[in-house]
A = this chain, B = another copy of it.
Amino acid sequence: VTNERLKKQIDFIIELDKMKSVFRQTLLIDHTRHENDAEHSWHFAVCAMLLAEYAAPEVNVDRAIRMALVHDLIEIYAGDTFAYDDKGNMSKEAREKEAADKLFSKLDDDQGLELRALWEEFDAMETPDSMYAAALDRLQPLINNHMTEGHTWVEHGVAKESILRRMAPIKTAIPAVWEFVEYVIADAIEKGYIKE
């Protein structure tokens, strides 16, 4: 291939296949195995399409979808950090920055920086698009956990307060969906999946 830029893009696409082998704590709803980052990113992106009507009017849903697609790419090198793992989350920022340096430099500067900026915007959760994206990044595993008898909550003994804190972006960014979160948490407490 004579086009050097295209060659880098193809090599990047090949590298991204590794997302299919980065496993998360979440189970598939059929309980057969853990979910991987590629599947999670797809499910999260589809949620962004399906629940768009609940977003604030200033949200650019297509930008949120793009964030969904790239928000976990750095986990190819940094690994998945469990949301409720306080120790893991202390080293997360440094590990992910290093991973981002490695990953995005595989592309030509303009394209690498553009993708990196999108990931950083998502991660900072300060803009309407990234707040909407963050809400769905939390909603999708909430649904899968609820449908698998609270698998990761039970395994790690996660308390109600931690989950409420983790789910807060849903209340802010898609308040109409909050009644569903409240239902899930109440139901999970009743069934003993979550500690009160």
Contact = CB atoms under 8 A, between A and B. Distances in A.
A143 interface: yes
Contacts of A35: 20
Interface in A1-58: 1-3, 6, 9-10, 12-14, 16-21, 28-30, 32, 35-36, 38-39, 41-43, 45-47, 49-51, 54
A179 B50 contact: no
Contacts of A14: 29, 143, 147
Contact of A13 (B10, B140, B183): B140
A89 interface: no
Contacts of A143: 10, 13-14
B13 A180 contact: no
14 contacts: A3-B179, A9-B51, A13-B47, A17-B28, A17-B29, A17-B30, A18-B30, A19-B43, A20-B35, A21-B28, A21-B30, A21-B32, A36-B39, A38-B38
Interface of A: 1-3, 6, 9-10, 12-14, 16-21, 28-30, 32, 35-36, 38-39, 41-43, 45-47, 49-51, 54, 62, 65-66, 69-70, 111, 140, 143-144, 147, 176-177, 179-180, 183
